[in-house]
Amino acid sequence: MYALIAAVPILLTIVFMVFMNWSAKRSLIISWLAAFAVACSVWGMGIGEAAARTVAGFLASFETSAIIFGAILLMNVLKQSGAMASINGMFSGITEDARLQAIIVGYCFAGFIEGAAGFGTPAALGAPILISLGFPPLAAAAICLVCNSTPVNPGPVGVPLLTASKVVADAVKHLGGDPEKFTTVLTRWVCIPNMIGGLFIIMAVVFMMCKAFGKNRSFRDAVPAVPFCLLTGVVVGSIYIVMSFFAAPELISMTAFLGGMIVMMFCAKKGVCVPKKVWTFDGYKEWGEPSWQSTTVVTSVKDKSMKPLLAWTPYIVIGVILVLTRLNAFGLKTLFNNDPFILRVGNILGFEGIGWDFKFLYNPGIMPFVLVAILTVPLHRMSREETKIAVVDSVKNWSGAATALLFGVAMVNLYRYTSSAQIGAAVAGAAAGSEFTFKNSSMLYVMADALAKLFQGTYFIIAPLIGVLGAFMSGSCTVSNTLFASLQFETATLVGLSQVLIVALQTMGGGIGNMICVNNIVAVCATTGTNGNEGKLIRTNILPCLVYAAVVAAVVGLLLAAGVDPMPELLTQ
């Protein structure tokens, strides 16, 4: 019963956005009100504390909001400077086939950005490039969101996977295992099923694009691109899986997708596995739907015949800065994650322990995106008028997303921090006769707990969907792992399944959920000017999301059936 009550705000979000096609801003305000009411009336959270958690959520939303603004600003600066037109020409020069462009830009290039930065930036940066290549804005948004799933694991410098491992470290020790070895083994067993699923997702993107946005609305148009899809999967997957055995999680996604992009650009240029007939979106404004186009003013791209190296310089600088600040070897990661580079707000509304820490120089929206955008102005010799247009357009595109994020993150805060001894006892009592002893009684945890109890021995089927749920609500695989990795580990122990494989499914599910999570959808809609189409994107992407989750669950199910369990080798003899 409590799980159903806790699910009400989430169900309202789904109904409003998916079935009623409301904007994320309108939907999340009402859903937040519902979560506030449930937290106070059923979970017994005080109104003052709920208000403090809401304010903390508002402040926390600024972190994602800053990333969105930085990505939008950089995009508009590059459009005004002439760099985007040059990048467009480079990709057009490699191939004019939109199916191949979607793979190279949406999967490989955005995958590299995910491996370096994360936080929804791949879709926010990749979609504008696809738009500049002639893609309908809504199609570009959908493609980049679906592609932004595989590279999420191990993810931005390994953070999601390392977070999952850290969360269950005490449980591993309790069983006599070595947490460091657990991380190493978890990396391998995330990467292998994840890349098998990634092979399917590359093809799913192309088939979805041709069916949902193609002139003929036919899956047949995608078939000629299947060899290129398979080759991409093999190239990226080979680097990815090999590195999972020999490299740290921090470098796997970044290196695999960058290497894959370089190889696939060469293959496309040389005609390797390239379809004989070119397929494009030419003329889509005449045969497409109005909702495919931008609903807010998006300034046209200026062409100044800029040299490709100069045009790509901002992205190169971004990559360098991200590597320097995300790897401990250079010392900047430690520096920027400590005082004096942390803005702290403590004891919000007088509640001790409720606060907000903002690592402003570690936020990719500020550094590198805003920083690089500012440096690009003199580098590309932009006029004062061009700079003004870029800034004004960015503020307009960003403002709607900022409001939605305020209430979305605030609602997640209420889900995470509700707690009731009475409900915790009721949940434990419902499991009488079993060994379920979950102590956390938050709204989000109670929902996941109910799903675990329902599936028991076939829990591996639902495990990735719990990860998807966490990402859908929080907008982050890292947060999803923070919320649910311990639940997944303990459930696996109690129902007799491999803890390594179940936690792997959790983190894979968190990555898969990126394609439908509210934060990413709001961000990419703001970046592409398609605000108001959030519900349509969820409807478009839900099938690839479920297919991906089913594929990784099936792979792990086969491994479990074959008796694969990496956990015993980690236990102290």
Which pLDDT tens digit goes with each residue over 153-186? 887 767 788 888 888 888 888 888 888 889 999 9
Phi, psi of 344 (to 5 degrees): -115, 135
DSSP H or E stretch at residue 343:
strand 343-345
Mutual angle of helices 159-167 and 477-495, in 10-degree steps? 40
Return the amino acid letter for 311.
A
Which pLDDT tens digit goes with each residue over 176-212? 888 888 999 999 999 999 999 999 999 999 999 999 9
Tokens linked to 376 = 């690009």
Q: Is the pLDDT of residue 322 over 80?
A: no
Q: List the one residue out of 200, 202, 212 whose CA is nearest residue 281.
A: 212
For 338-347, 373-382, 432-441, which range has the lowest pLDDT when averaged over its residues?
A: 432-441
Highest mean pLDDT out of 80-89, 162-171, 378-387: 378-387
Q: Is the pLDDT of residue 427 over 70?
A: no
For 202-206, 397-401, 466-470, which range has the lowest pLDDT when averaged over its residues?
A: 397-401
Residue 340 preceded by cis peptide, ω within 30 = yes
What is the pLDDT, as a whole number, of residue 159? 78
- Strand 343-345 vs strand 356-358: parallel, antiparallel, or unpaired? antiparallel
What is the pLDDT, as a whole number, of residue 438? 42
Sign of the alpha-carbon dihedral angle for 263, 264, 267, 268: negative
Tokens linked to 401 = 């997303």
Give one DSSP letter per residue of 222-245, joined into a string: GGGGHHHHHHHHHHHHHHHHHHHH
Query: Higher pLDDT residue, 325 or 437?
Result: 325
For 418-427, 501-510, 550-559, which range has the lowest pLDDT when averaged over its residues?
A: 418-427
For 59-73, 289-303, 391-405, which range has the lowest pLDDT when averaged over its residues?
A: 289-303
What does pLDDT average to over the chain?
85
Q: List the one residue out of 404, 369, 361 whose CA is nearest residue 390.
A: 369
Go through 136-165 and write b for each residue having 16 or more CB atoms within 10 A of its CB, e for each that does not: bbbbbbbbbbbbbbbbbbbbbbbbbbbbbb
Tokens linked to 467 = 């990860």
Tell me if 150 sits within 8 A of 198, measured CB to CB: yes
CB atoms within 10 A of CB 346: 11
3-state secondary structure string across 431-476: CCCCCCCCCCCCHHHHHHHHHHHHHHHHHHHHHHHHHHHHHHHHCC
Work out the pLDDT band at 447, boundaries 50, 70, 90.
confident
Which pLDDT tens digit goes with each residue over 523-557? 788 778 887 888 888 888 899 999 999 999 999 99
361 burial type by CB count under 10 A (0-12 exposed, 13-18 middle, 19+ buried):
middle
| Cα–Cα separations (whole angstroms), residue 128 to 7, 85, 527 | 35, 11, 7
What is the pLDDT, as a whole number, of residue 120? 62
- Token pair 């707690």 is found at 419
Q: Is the pLDDT of residue 437 over 50?
A: no
Q: List the one residue out of 156, 155, 142 whose CA is nearest residue 205.
A: 142
Percent of the chain with pLDDT over 90: 38
Three-class DSSP category at 298: coil
Q: Mean of the pLDDT values across residues 121-140?
A: 83
